[in-house]
């Protein structure tokens, strides 16, 4: 019995020894095979540290290249970007309390009787359109300015003369006399811009001259009504490139260093969102401002909002609603301006415009675009839904006299 147990123990020990031996053999075999299967490490092809670094660059760096495209774009346009300083004198009336005879009976004439004057200073950006000295900027940068000073990147300073302002599109043209050696910004085409394209903003935000910020185009055709600028007629390029006060009027560039927009607006309640006027629109407006000093905009004379059948149904089921609306998609007339083309044509508050000039419209932006692209004095056929009836009205456009 003891012999049998001893033989079993020897057999188990032999198994363990054999297992350990096989494990050692396999380990050495693996160590010898792995290096032979691995590819040899690449030998440096150069002793130059810069070239060696270039060989080891990441895929992202290789795609961008050793020289930044932003640098190339800014070098191409930067000399043509200008700083615009403005001065404006305003007159403030004294408090009527000081003019009261009862007050003066007790305090005499020791208080000022003449209106006080105050000088306001403004700052913006712009860029040179041609060698003759035409500068494009925003209307709100130079509007009502008594003096305009244009400063180039190379330090030269010139007095600027405002040749034309269009408040509706917030564009202005300023002329400087500087000979024919001025740098000119290359203009691109905003019709080729796509969401996701590079967007480079150049200007003088907060007085920090020659500032460059980088982002992308985040959306196109953002209406001024959506932005909250109801007195403008624009479809903006929206970007996340940082835009701050002082950037207004400066160029928005694409990756090739071409101007695709004019930086115009930011929203106080948003971060990382800026808006630029498309350069194709700006080209047409600038040409008219240079030629005529102003731009004539046709208008109908209605205040309006977009309406859907769902919104109309909600309104009609509300017991507190003061008006019943046609349950259709269109543009609801909220107010008709007195003595306007719309008033003369018989358009009424509560009408829903469903078609204009043969085009179906379902948003206020669509209607506004049709009117903006029409001619002054053109008769537009307007189909309205009034209650349960459909009416066809003829409206002759007139010139918008005041953007406000």
Same domain flag for 288 and 304: no
Catalytic residue, from 125, 190, 248, 374: name it: 248
Cα atoms found within 13 Å of the Cα of residue 195, Cβ hemisphere only: 7
Q: Report whether pLDDT(373) > 70.
A: yes
The per-residue pLDDT for 307 is: 94
User: pLDDT by residue (tens digit) across 23-81?
Assistant: 544 444 444 433 333 344 445 455 555 454 444 544 444 444 556 899 999 999 999 99
Nearest to 198 by CA among 256, 244, 151: 256
DSSP state of 205: G
Which of 30-39, 148-157, 219-228, 313-322 is least confident? 30-39
346 found inside a domain: yes
Domain total in the chain: 3
- Examine the residue annotation and report whether 110 is marked as an active-site residue of this protein: no
Contact 306, 334 (CB under 8 A): no
* pLDDT tens column, 155-208: 999 999 999 999 999 999 999 998 888 999 999 999 999 999 999 999 999 889
Instruction: Give the C-alpha separation, 79 to 211, whole Å.
Output: 12
Distance (Å, rounded) from C-alpha 66 to C-alpha 54? 8
| Prediction pTM value | 0.74
Which of 47-56, 124-133, 388-397 is predicted with the least confidence, judged by mean pLDDT?
47-56
Long-range contacts of 377-382 (CB under 8 A, 24+ apart): 378/298, 380/300, 380/356, 381/355, 381/356, 381/357, 382/345, 382/347, 382/353, 382/355, 382/356
Point out the catalytic residue in the list 125, 140, 166, 224: 140
Q: Identify the active-site residue in 125, 170, 190, 374.
A: 170
Active site residue 231: no
Report the run of H or E that residue 7 belongs to, with start and end: helix 2-37
Burial of 183 (0-12, 13-18, 19+ CB in 10 A): middle
What is the domain extent for residue 219?
190-292
Is 185 a domain residue?
no
pLDDT band at 226; cut points 50, 70, 90: confident
- Between 404 and 212, where is the model more confident? 212
Q: Which CATH number is 81's domain given?
A: 2.40.10.10
pLDDT tens digits, one per residue of 274-308: 999 999 999 999 999 999 999 999 999 999 999 99
Q: Are residues 288 and 302 in the same domain?
A: no
Do both 253 and 209 map to the same domain?
Answer: yes
Boundary residue ending a domain (272, 292, 312):
292
If you count DSSP H runs as helices and E runs as strands, how many of each does the chain have, helices first? 12, 20
Tell whether 277 is covered by a domain: yes
pLDDT score of 316 more than 70? yes
DSSP assignment letter at 194: -
What are the structure tokens assigned to 299, written together? 């208008």
Same domain for 308 and 287?
no
**In a shared domain, residues 338 and 283:** no
Annotation marks residue 191 as catalytic: no
């Amino acid at each position: 019995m003891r012999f049998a147990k001893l033989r079993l123990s020897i057999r188990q020990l032999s198994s363990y020894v054999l297992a350990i031996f096989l494990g050692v053999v396999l380990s050495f075999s693996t160590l010898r095979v792995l290096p032979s299967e691995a590819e040899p490490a690449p030998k440096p092809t150069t002793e130059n540290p810069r070239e060696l670094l270039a060989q080891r660059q990441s895929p992202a760096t290789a795609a961008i290249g050793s020289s930044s495209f932003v640098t190339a774009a800014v070098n191409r346009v930067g000399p043509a970007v200008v700083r615009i300083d403005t001065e404006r004198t305003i007159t403030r009336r004294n408090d009527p309390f000081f003019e009261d005879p009862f007050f003066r009976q007790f305090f005499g004439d020791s208080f000022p009787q003449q209106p006080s004057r105050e000088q306001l200073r403004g700052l913006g950006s712009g860029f040179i359109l041609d060698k003759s000295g035409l500068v494009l900027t925003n209307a709100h940068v130079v509007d009502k300015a008594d003096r305009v000073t244009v400063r180039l990147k190379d330090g030269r300073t010139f007095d600027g003369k405002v040749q034309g302002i269009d408040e509706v599109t917030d564009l202005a043209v300023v002329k400087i006399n500087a000979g024919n050696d001025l740098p000119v910004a290359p203009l691109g085409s905003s019709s080729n811009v796509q969401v996701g394209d590079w967007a480079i903003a150049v200007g003088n935000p907060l007085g920090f001259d020659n500032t460059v910020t980088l982002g992308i185009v985040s959306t196109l055709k953002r209406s001024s009504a959506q932005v909250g600028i109801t007195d403008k007629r624009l479809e903006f390029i929206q970007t996340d490139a940082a835009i701050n006060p002082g950037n207004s009027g400066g160029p928005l560039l694409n990756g090739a260093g071409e101007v695709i927009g004019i930086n115009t607006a930011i929203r106080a309640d948003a971060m990382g969102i800026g808006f630029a006027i498309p350069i194709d629109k700006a080209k047409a407006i600038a040409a008219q401002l240079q030629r005529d000093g102003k731009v004539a905009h046709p208008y109908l004379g209605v205040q309006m909002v977009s309406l859907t059948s769902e919104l109309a149904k909600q309104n009609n089921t509300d017991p507190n609603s003061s008006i019943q609306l046609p349950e259709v998609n269109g543009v609801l007339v909220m107010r008709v301006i007195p003595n306007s083309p719309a008033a003369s044509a018989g358009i009424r508050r509560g009408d829903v415009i469903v078609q204009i000039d043969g085009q179906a419209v379902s948003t206020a932006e669509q209607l506004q675009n049709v009117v903006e692209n029409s001619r002054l004095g053109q008769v537009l056929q307007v189909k309205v839904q009034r209650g349960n009836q459909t009416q066809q009205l003829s409206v002759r456009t007139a010139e918008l006299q005041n953007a406000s």
